A and B are shown apart, each in its own frame.
Chain A
Amino acid sequence: MSEPSGEWQRLDPRMLLVLPVRELVRFLPVLLAIFVAGTASGRTDWWHGLGIAIPVGLGLLRYLTTFFRITATRVELRRGLLNRHLLSTPLDRVRTVDLTASPTHRVLGLTTVRIGTGTASTDDEDHLDLDGLPVERARELRAELLHLATADAAAGTTPERDDRLVVRFDPAWVRFAPFTSTGLALAAGAVGVAVQAVNTLGGFQRLDTQGLAEDASGWSVWLALPLALVGLLVVVTALAVGGYVVTNWAFSLTHAGPEGHGAWHLRRGLLTTRETSLDDERVSGVRLAQPLGLRVARGARVSAIVTGLDREESGSALLAPPCPRAVATDVAAEVLRTDAPLSAALVDHGPAARRRRYTRALVPTAVVVAAVAVLVGLDLLPGWWLVVVVLLPAAVLLAGDRAAALGHALVDGHLVARSGSLDRRHEALATRGVIGWNLRASWFQRRAGLTTLVATTAGGPQAVTVLDVPLDVAVALAHDAQPDLVSQFLDGPPLVSPETIATAT
């Protein structure tokens, strides 16, 4: 392979087609201004051509001044003509290699390689992006950077070309899209942009509110409201499906290299494709998310808890988009290399924890309802405000669901915790990935004999939380997970719990 030669090399020459166009787009507002000024004055001066020549020149310069090299120990990227910029990182700090290809890149057979080192910097300048390499070359580079090739060589086998496919996108999964909150978020975003645009153009001043009100008075509320709701539903559903398809089309999860020392490859995207790789050694757990909507549709999505991933990239660790629950658990079991953690029966948190779910849901609701009742009684609010009473049964249902979710387990070297209703989470974290324990209890929790056990980790959500467990159970759980660490802080003589004996024999 030509990579480790240590020579400075340029990006792919086909980037000469991409970069000037990109600069032109960036200069578009200036170009428009020049064009408008030119038409207004009725003549075209020679310098108007500069508006096009400068961006194109900048694009060419960007290509000519960008070099990268891969030596035996480091990856280096050098760029800039006046402001010289040299990015350099040791090879053993490389944690992720992402390949992203925009539609333009795809047409030209190119892809952008982003080399992730787990940096906390959010500045785009500080990222090691090799923008524009041929796809094949990029894949070779990735295998090399993630030591897949060397691992194969060490094992004395030829590098496997066809990776093991774990899950592939099924168009039928699109049915889960309407049950996610993506549609709502997209719709809210669209409304926000539209309102801002109308506002900037002074549309609200010209809006004929009087006329609108008169037009609307011809409509019955009983006709207008359902129509508006149906319309909203259709729009939100369409947006959700659209967003889902654009992001997740052609999703696939494959495993490359030897079991346990290879890497997971994730690929997805309809227009811009993204390929992410996760080192086996850095995947320390999974999170199965089942928000209420997805649970109703019997779906789930899975993400990986990856240590050392950039925080802003935590989204890229999605192992399966919203899909049938069975598929999601299969993927989780594959990635954990055991299906025990997510299929094991969970230990109940007991009556005190369940009672706490009800008090926490009901007390604030009851306060709100009582306040409204008083205000209505004093004639300070119109009577229809009393509909807030429906919050009470809703709170009971929510509390019931939250209580049913509570559970934890320590199975096969994994700490498992489940909680939540609207955002039900079922997490499994390998105990080797736990880098600390927090036991947190408010005065109310202490009175109920409960505590919240948090296992901290360097990856993804930063922690796995076991909500409201009895104190002795929490301590036993932490002790069984990491006896060497916790036993020195136990009260009284060191004890051996029944569970430890069970796993030892």
Chain B
Amino acid sequence: MKELSTTDFDSVISQSELPMVVDFWAPWCGPCKVMAPILESIAPDNQQLFTVGKVNVDDHGDLAMRFNVLSIPTFIVFKGGSEIGRFAGAAPAAVFVEKVKGILRG
């Protein structure tokens, strides 16, 4: 799982061949803590479909502001360098994967 920062965000997002799901999170957020192991667990099964990145909004508040993140966790799906969809709030693994797939299908 890639930790993204203000400096490398744009280059990582635009160079990623697969769509990337970016988790906007913070260490003090309960639902974010629930999601961390879930993201780890779903990554291997879906590595053909998407990759997962993380933005710590405490350290990179400018990214949260730029993407209008007003609630965490928020998951934004990027494809070809731009946002194609998002959802907020914790979800069980199966529901999370379905939501991402729904966004990827358009």
| Physical interaction between A and B | no
- Report A's interface with B, CB cutoff 8 A: none
- Report B's interface with A, CB cutoff 8 A: none
